Chain A
Amino acid sequence: GQQLNQSPQSMFIQEGEDVSMNCTSSSIFNTWLWYKQDPGEGPVLLIALYKAGELTSNGRLTAQFGITRKDSFLNISASIPSDVGIYFCAGMKTSYDKVIFGPGTSLSVIP
């Protein structure tokens, strides 16, 4: 079953607004990943985090590896229509473990 929880499940925002979403787990993960999936496409890696407390940016996206190693956060600043999609967090407990995906956060941006 799912070991990762994402919130919110879905969100509707106005273009230009900032977005925050998070991912939590009852287990410790050593790697956190954030993916975005567009309709009809496979997930695309946005940001990878390898160290507790790490803060990494990719353009308007910023993600953080939680200090407890049980959570991660993704922020999108100044949202635009092409940000629409499903955002998945994923984690690995060890470097040799499988990647587990969260259920996703669906983002809709209203122009």
Chain B
Amino acid sequence: DAGVIQSPRHEVTEMGQEVTLRCKPISGHNSLFWYRQTMMWGLELLIYFNNNVPIDDSGMPEDRFSAKMPNASFSTLKIQPSEPRDSAVYFCASSFWRAEAFFGQGTRLTVV
């Protein structure tokens, strides 16, 4: 299995632009998580899906952030409009049981 695949690995964008991060979970997993990692706050859970349905989005910072999971093999995290404070590493993770999550390599986002 290729593991959780995220794209792009790096993204540099200008403030105000729309950013879309993509994730392909491990085949057969039924839970998907989006995390944000910063030096200040560590690993923060933004949102998680179970069987493609958003279960808890209380970690999404504000309305500029949205996430979708149209099917079991694909999810997106969108930021519109982006701001410099959104700069971070965004991780996608998936699991069959919620506990044992497998992480992707992350997308390093820089908003200038």
Interface positions of A (Cβ within 8 A of B): 2, 31, 33, 35, 40-45, 48, 50, 88, 92, 95-104
Contact = CB atoms under 8 A, between A and B. Distances in A.
B100 A33 contact: yes
Interface of B: 4, 33, 35, 42-43, 45, 48, 56, 91, 93, 97-106
Contacts of A88: 43
B97 to A, nearest CB: 8
Which one of A33, A95, A98, A99 has the greatest number of beta carbons of chain B within 10 Å? A99
Contacts of A33: 99-100
Contacts of B105: 40-42
A44 B45 CA distance: 16
A67 B93 CA distance: 29
B53 to A, nearest CB: 13
What 5 A-B pairs have minimum CB-CB distances, sorted nearest first? A42-B103, A101-B43, A103-B42, A31-B99, A43-B103
A96 B45 contact: no
A95 B98 contact: yes
Contacts of A95: 97-99
28 contacts: A2-B42, A33-B100, A35-B103, A41-B105, A41-B106, A42-B4, A42-B93, A42-B103, A42-B105, A43-B103, A45-B100, A45-B101, A45-B102, A48-B99, A48-B100, A92-B98, A95-B97, A95-B98, A95-B99, A96-B98, A98-B33, A98-B48, A98-B56, A99-B99, A99-B101, A101-B45, A103-B42, A104-B42
Contacts of A48: 99-100
